[in-house]
Structure 1
Amino acid sequence: MKAPIYIGVLMIATAFGLGACSQETAEPADAEAPAGIAGLEIANGRLVLPPVKGNPAAVYFDVTYTGDRNLAIRRADVAGAGSSEMHDTVEMDGKMTMQPSLPVVLNTGDTVEFAPGGKHVMAMDVSEDLIAGGTTEVTLTVAGGDKHSFDVPIKAAGEER
């Protein structure tokens, strides 16, 4: 009877010992992470201010992915906005309507447009500091938590989207 208990205790102690060894070889917590996500390229980015103060702004861009494994964009944050949300425009009952977007899956070689009338990012409670002619930062978060940030120019409501 004592042998099975002894073996069980020995196995647990060995597991803790191995766990401690693996922590010693891990990178230090202050090691700098690489900037952005390898293979993720952003083009044609812009934030368009709302025509009516207090309404949401819209962010548009093209994203191309050339990485070696698929990923999914699950979130977009806009600096200077109280909150932001990825949206998609879909047809329901013969009418075009906007709704929150599901994660945007990118396979190797894909290009996805976030453009007027389709996928876009809504930026709510936009700070008065965001003015036409300036820039702001957009950060995309993919499943797994990796982030990719990029700057976008800020355009007035009447400018070309």
Structure 2
Amino acid sequence: MNFARFAPYAVAVAAFSVAACSDGGDASQTAAEANPTGLEVTDARLVLPAVSGNPAAIYFELTNASERNVAIRSASVEGASSAQIHDTTEWSGEMVMGEMGPLTLNAGDSASFEPGGKHVMAFDLDPALEAGGSTAMTLTVAGGKSMTTDVEIVAAGADR
């Protein structure tokens, strides 16, 4: 008879304990799932093209805050039909821009995506993307993990 009175309390305490443990685990797991790449993007901005129909450029600072090396393989931009990671290099004495291969970023290293260097090109923009708004850029690393960040949209000719 004593057990019959005690059982509901034991079940309640056990349920509360399991729930308390799973809440903490879910929060840290959610953070890791939100950015499994370990990459951090700051100062991201999409510069609209001066001529409608031309591609836009996205510039930002990128840091590998993880303890492992990563290779950035691709980018996608919400509101663009496609995106490519580009770099500017010298070819036959002239500076040329073109799509680049995977960018390896060692643990703790950073890379600047800036005018005249690395950048993301966003093609066939949705007309709804306007200066003062924002969009999302997703970077995917070798192995398929990805991270998404907000990107401020600025007018053509604005300080890049």
TM-score (norm 2): 0.79
Could you tell me which residue of structure 2 aligns to residue 75 of structure 1?
74
List gaps (5 residues or longer) in structure 2: 1-28
Distance in structure 2 (CA, Å) of the matches to 1:142 and 1:65: 11
State the Cα distance separating 1:40 from its structure 2 match.
Answer: 1.5
Backbone CA RMSD of aligned residues: 1.4
What's the CA shift for 1:38? 5.2
C-alpha contact 2:77 2:136 (8 A) present in aligned 1: yes
- Asked if 1:122 corresponds to 2:121, the answer is yes
Distance 2:125 2:68 in 1: 35
Question: Residue 34 of structure 1 aligns to a residue in which SS?
Answer: helix
- Retained in 1: the 8 A contact 2:37–2:145? no
CA distance in 2, matches of 1:47, 1:37: 24
SS, match of residue 41 in structure 1: strand
Aligned to 1:65: 64
Alignment TM-score, normalising by the size of structure 1: 0.78
Residue 58 of structure 1 and its aligned partner are, at CA, apart by 0.3
Per residue, is there more helix in 1 or in 2? 2
SS in structure 1 opposite 2:152? strand
> Identity, % of aligned pairs?
53
Aligned to 2:148: 149
1:46 aligns with 2:50: no
Structure 1, residues 28-52: CA drift from partner, whole Å, max 9, x if none?
Answer: xxx9771013532111100000000
**Structure 1 unaligned residues grouped into runs of 5+:** 1-30
Letter in 1 for 2:136: E
In the TM superposition, structure 1's runs of 4+ consecutive aligned residues that sit over 3 Å from their partners are: none
Structure 1 residue identity aligned to 2:94 = K
Q: What is the number of residues matched between the two proteins? A: 131
What does the per-residue CA deviation read over 1:40-96, in whole Å, with 9 as the maximum and x for residues that have no partner? 211110000000000000011110112111110000000000111000000111111
